């Protein structure tokens, strides 16, 4: 009986420890971004500096991440820089606007009324319509917000909806 009680207590302690290590799902706090967002990002044959102040992330219930950040695109050819404004890393399948995106490492850009996602070789991976939030009071270069059961990735007043699948 004593061994059984000891085993149950040990299991309870392990479950409590595992639960304590889990962080809540949702938009990741700015203080945590330093440990998640890379300081440089390889794309189309070059490494670019990441703008940490213009980064954001989502933590899923399964403790996986979706990360977006603007990068310094100086040095890239103008045709590449036109559609590559930042990095986009997802560890989970996403619905981006009305399109599906597989886990992977990508570049992204808001171009006209479109949100474009390209693989790290600058090949198109996804194109979907972006929206404009005219009611946004203080637009910033990049942020992620919760939106009902999903999220919005903003670049200024433009945004695209993200849904974790």
Q: Which contacts qualify for 75-84: CB closer than 8 Å, 24 or more apart?
A: 75/46, 75/48, 76/44, 76/46, 76/48, 80/44, 80/122, 82/109, 82/111, 83/107, 83/109, 83/111, 83/116, 83/118, 83/122, 84/43, 84/44, 84/108, 84/109, 84/118, 84/122
For 37-66, the pLDDT digits (tens) are 999 999 999 999 999 999 999 999 999 999
Q: Which of 130, 96, 95 is nearest to 111 (CA)?
A: 130
Stronger pLDDT, 150 or 17, i.e. the higher one: 150
Q: Is residue 11 part of a domain?
A: no
pLDDT of res. 19 = 47
Q: pLDDT class for 79, splitting at 50, 70, 90?
A: confident
Q: Rounded to the nearest 5°, which phi and psi values hold at 9?
A: -65, -40
- Distance, in Å, from the CA atom of 105 to the CA atom of 138, rounded to the nearest integer, reads 29
Q: Which of 85, 87, 80 is nearest to 104 (CA)?
A: 87
Q: Tell whether the model's pLDDT for residue 9 goes beyond 60.
A: no
The proportion of the chain whose per-residue pLDDT surpasses 70, expressed as a percent, equals 87
Q: Is residue 17 part of a domain?
A: no
Q: Is residue 107 part of a domain?
A: yes
Provide the domain count of the chain: 1
CA atoms within 13 A on the CB side of 35: 4
For 85-97, the pLDDT digits (tens) are 999 999 999 999 9
Structural domain that includes position 109: 24-164
Q: Is residue 7 part of a domain?
A: no
Q: Is residue 111 part of a domain?
A: yes
For 117-139, the pLDDT digits (tens) are 999 999 999 999 999 999 999 99
């Amino acid at each position: 009986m004593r061994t059984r009680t000891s085993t149950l207590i040990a299991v309870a302690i392990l479950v409590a420890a595992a639960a304590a290590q889990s962080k809540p799902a949702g938009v990741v706090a700015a203080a945590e971004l330093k440990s998640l967002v890379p300081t440089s990002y390889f794309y189309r044959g070059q490494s670019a500096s990441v703008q940490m102040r213009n980064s954001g992330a989502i933590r899923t219930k399964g403790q996986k991440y979706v990360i977006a950040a603007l990068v310094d695109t100086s040095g890239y050819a103008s045709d590449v820089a036109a559609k590559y404004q930042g990095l986009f890393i997802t560890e989970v399948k996403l619905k981006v606007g009305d399109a599906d995106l597989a886990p992977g490492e990508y570049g992204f850009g808001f171009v006209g009324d479109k949100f474009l996602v390209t693989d790290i070789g600058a090949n198109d991976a996804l194109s979907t319509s972006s929206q404009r939030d005219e009611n946004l009071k203080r637009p910033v270069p990049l942020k992620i917000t919760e939106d009902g059961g999903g999220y919005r990735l903003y670049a200024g007043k433009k945004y695209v909806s993200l849904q974790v699948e």
